[in-house]
A = this chain, B = another copy of it.
Amino acid sequence: MSDIRVTVDVVIFTIQDGRLGVLLVRRGIPPFEGAWAIPGGFVLPEEGLEQAARRELEEETGVREVYLEQLYTFGEPARDPRGRVVTVAYYALISPERKIQAGSDAAEARWWPMDGLPELAFDHAKILRYAHERLRNKLEYTTVGFQLLPESFTLTELQQVYETILGRPLDKRNFRRKLDLLGILTPLKEHRRQGPSRPARLYRFSAARFERLKDKGILFPF
C-alpha cells in the first residue's frame, strides 16, 4: 500500500573547455518527450542507493571510482505525471580526460554547459540548481575541486576550475598562497608547454597530506 517507485538521478559534472558542464540525456518518449533529463533509473531490489547511483553513472559514462555524493531526495507527489516516484539525487564529479563515452547506450546523451541549459524534464531544473549550489558551497571548504581535473595540472588550471564554479575571479597570488599553506600539492618535475609563453609547472594532489589535515578538522578555505 505504501510502496513507492524509487529512482536515483545522478548529476554528472565536468569541466567543459573552461566551463562547468553537465551530462544530460534526451527523452525519446512521453512525458516530456524531446526534453533533456538528468540520467537516472530505478533502484533495483537488492541494491543500495549509492550503489545504484554508481551503476547509473557507469552505464552513462563508463567511469568508476569517481567522487559521488548524495544531494537530496525529491518526493513531491506530483513531480512525475505517471505516478508516485521518489528520487534520491546524487552528484558526481569527473575529470575531462575521463569523460570518454558520453551516452554508451542507445539514448542520445551529451554534455551541456551549466550556463546554457536546454529545456529540462520533470523537476530536473530544480535538481540541477540545487546541485550547482551544493557544489559551490562544497568548494568553499573542501578539496572537491581536484576531482574535476586530471591527475596532473597547473596552478592556473586549478584556479580556473575554482573561478568557473564559484562564478567569480580569484586573485592569483592569494590563491597560490593558500594552496601553499595547505601543503596538499606536490610539484612535479614536468612542465606544460602551450603556445609562446613560459611553461607552467605541473602539480598533483597529494591525498595523504590532505587526509592528515582533514583529521585535524582543517578543510579547504576558498
- Interface residues of A, Cβ cutoff 8 Å to B: 1-6, 42-49, 70, 72-77, 84, 86, 88
Most buried by B among A5, A43, A45, A73: A73
In the assembled complex, the CB of A215 is this many whole angstroms from the nearest CB of chain B, namely: 15
- Number of copies of this kind of chain in the complex: 2
Partner among B2, B44, B47, B73 whose Cβ is within 8 Å of the Cβ of A49: B73
In the assembled complex, the CB of A80 is this many whole angstroms from the nearest CB of chain B, namely: 13
Partner among B2, B43, B70, B72 whose Cβ is within 8 Å of the Cβ of A42: B2
In the assembled complex, the CB of A192 is this many whole angstroms from the nearest CB of chain B, namely: 35
Chain B residues lying within 8 Å of A1, measured Cβ to Cβ, are: 45
Asked if A73 contacts B46 (CB within 8 A), the reply is no
Chain B residues lying within 8 Å of A6, measured Cβ to Cβ, are: 2-4, 6, 75, 86
Nearest opposing residue in chain B for A2, CB measure: B42
Docked CA distance A70–B130 (Å)? 14
Asked if B70 contacts A72 (CB within 8 A), the reply is yes
Task: Report, nearest first, the 8 A-B pairs whose CB atoms are least far apart.
Answer: A3-B3, A49-B75, A2-B42, A73-B73, A4-B6, A73-B88, A48-B76, A46-B77
Chain B residues lying within 8 Å of A88, measured Cβ to Cβ, are: 73, 75, 86
Asked if B2 contacts A84 (CB within 8 A), the reply is no
User: What are 20 A-B contacts defined by CB distance under 8 Å?
Assistant: A1-B45, A2-B42, A2-B43, A2-B44, A2-B45, A3-B4, A4-B4, A4-B5, A4-B43, A6-B6, A6-B86, A43-B75, A43-B86, A45-B77, A45-B84, A49-B74, A49-B75, A70-B73, A73-B73, A86-B86
Docked CA distance A167–B72 (Å)? 28
Asked if B86 contacts A47 (CB within 8 A), the reply is no
In the assembled complex, the CB of A212 is this many whole angstroms from the nearest CB of chain B, namely: 20
Nearest opposing residue in chain B for A78, CB measure: B48
